[in-house]
Structure 1
Amino acid sequence: MVDWDALEAAGIADVRGRAALIEYLDGLGFTTEQMADAERRGRLFGLAGDVVGRSGPPDYTLRTAAEAVGVSVADVAQAWRMLGLTVPAPDAFTLSQADVDALATWAAMRAYLGEQVDGFLRMLGVTMARLAEAESSMIRIGEPEMWLGHTHSELRTARAWRMVAEFIPRIGAMIDAVHRQHQVSTRTFLEGLAGGPSASMVCGVGFADLTGFTALTQELTSSELATLLTDFGGGVADAVHADGGRVVKFIGDAVMWVSATPELLVKAATDLVDHPKARRARLRVRAGVGYGEMLAINGDYFGTPVNLAARLVDAAAPGQVLAGPCVRDALPHWPASELEPLTLKGFNQPVPAYDMCPRADR
Structure 2
Amino acid sequence: MEAFLLGEAPGLTQHEVAARAGVPLEDAMALWHQLGFPHHSDEDRAFAESDVEALRLASDLVRMGILPPEQQAALVRTWGRSYARLAEWQASLLVGLAAESDDPATHLAELATDVLPRVEALQTYVWRRHLANASQHLLEDGAAITIGEAETSVCFVDIVGYTAQSRRLDGAELVAWVDGFEQDTTTLVVDHGGQVIKTIGDEVLFTVADPAAAVQIALALTARGDDEDDPFPAVRVGIAHGAVVRRLGDVFGSTVNAASRLTSAARPGSVLVDAGVHEALVARDEDGEPEEQDGAAWRFRRLRRISAKGFRNLEAWRVRAHEM
TM-score, normalised on structure 1?
0.77
Distance in 2 between residues matched to 1:220 and 1:322, nearest whole Å? 30
Any gaps of 5 or more consecutive residues in structure 1? Answer: 1-48
Unaligned stretches of 5+ in structure 2? 284-297
**Mapped partners of 1:86, 1:278: distance in 2:** 48
Q: How many Å apart are 1:257 and its aligned residue?
A: 0.9
Tell me if the contact between 1:193 and 1:260 (Cα under 8 Å) persists in the aligned partners.
no
Deviates more, 1:179-188 or 1:60-69: 60-69
Cα 1:190–1:273 change in 2 (3 A) is: farther
Instruction: State the Cα distance separating 1:221 from its structure 2 match.
Output: 2.2
Contact 1:53 1:169 (8 Å CA) reproduced:
no
Local SS of the residue matching 2:99: helix
What corresponds to 2:319 in structure 1? 356
Report how far residue 178 of structure 1 moved: 0.6
**Counterpart among 143, 155, 159 of residue 106 in structure 2:** 159
Determine the C-alpha separation between the residues in 2 that align with 1:287 and 1:82.
Answer: 35
Output one character per residue of 1:135-180: Cα deviation in whole Å (capped at 9) or x when no partner. 244346x52616xxxx7xxx61113322332323432222111100
Q: Percent identity?
A: 28
For 1:307, the aligned partner's letter is: N
The alignment status of 1:133 with 2:78, answered yes or no, reads no
Deviation at 1:132, TM superposition (A): 2.1
Q: Taking structure 1 as reference, are residues 248 and 282 closer, same or farther at Cα in structure 2, changes over 3 Å only?
A: closer
Alpha-carbon distance change, 266 to 344 in structure 1, aligned in 2, over 3 angstroms: same
- Which structure is larger by alpha-carbon Rg, 1 or 2? 1
Cα distance, 1:239 vs structure 2: 0.8
The farther-off stretch of 202-211 and 90-99 is 90-99
Question: Is the alpha carbon distance of 1:206 and 1:160 closer, same or farther for their aligned partners in structure 2, counting shifts above 3 Å?
Answer: same
Q: Select 2:5's aligned residue among 48, 53, 57.
A: 53
- The corresponding residue for 2:49 is 97
Q: Partners of 2:117 and 2:89 in 1: how far apart? A: 16
Q: Distance in 2 between matches of 1:253 and 1:309?
A: 16
Q: Residues 6 and 50 of structure 2 are in contact (CA less than 8 Å); yes or no, is this contact kept in structure 1?
A: no
8 Å CA contact retained: 2:300, 2:317: yes
Does residue 203 of structure 1 match 2:152?
yes
1:18-48: CA deviations, max 9, x gaps? Answer: xxxxxxxxxxxxxxxxxxxxxxxxxxxxxxx
Q: What's the secondary structure of 2:163's corresponding residue?
A: helix
User: Which of 181, 188, 197 is the matching residue for 1:239?
Assistant: 188
Match of 1:325 in 2: 275
SS in 2 for 1:356: strand
Instruction: Report what 1:187 is aligned to.
Output: 135
Q: Hey, what does 1:145 align to over in structure 2?
A: 99
Letter in 2 for 1:238: T
Q: 1:276 to 1:297 in 2, by over 3 A?
A: same
2:300 is aligned with 1:336: yes
Specify whether residues 136 and 315 from structure 1 end up closer, same or farther in structure 2 by C-alpha distance, changes over 3 A only: farther
Q: Distance in 1 between matches of 2:154 and 2:167?
A: 32
- The residue number in structure 1 matching 2:119 is 171
1:2-17 equivalences in 2 (<5 Å): none
Aligned to 2:153, the other structure's residue is in SS state strand
* Change in CA separation of 1:171 and 1:74 when aligned onto 2, cut-off 3 Å: same
For residue 267 of structure 1, what is the aligned residue in structure 2? 216
* TM-score, length-scaled by structure 2: 0.85
Partners of 1:356 and 1:231 in 2: how far apart?
25
1:296 aligned to 2:246? yes
How far apart are 1:342 and its partner, in Å?
A: 0.9
The CA deviation at 1:131 is 0.8
Task: Quote the offset at 1:281 in angstroms.
Answer: 2.6
Q: Aligned-pair distance for 1:94?
A: 1.5
1:100 and 1:247 mapped to 2: Cα distance? 35
The residue identity in structure 1 corresponding to 2:204 is V
- The alignment partner of 2:303 has SS state of strand
Q: Deviations over 1:187-213 (max 9, x none)?
A: 222233351423222222111110122
Aligned alpha-carbon RMSD (Å): 2.4
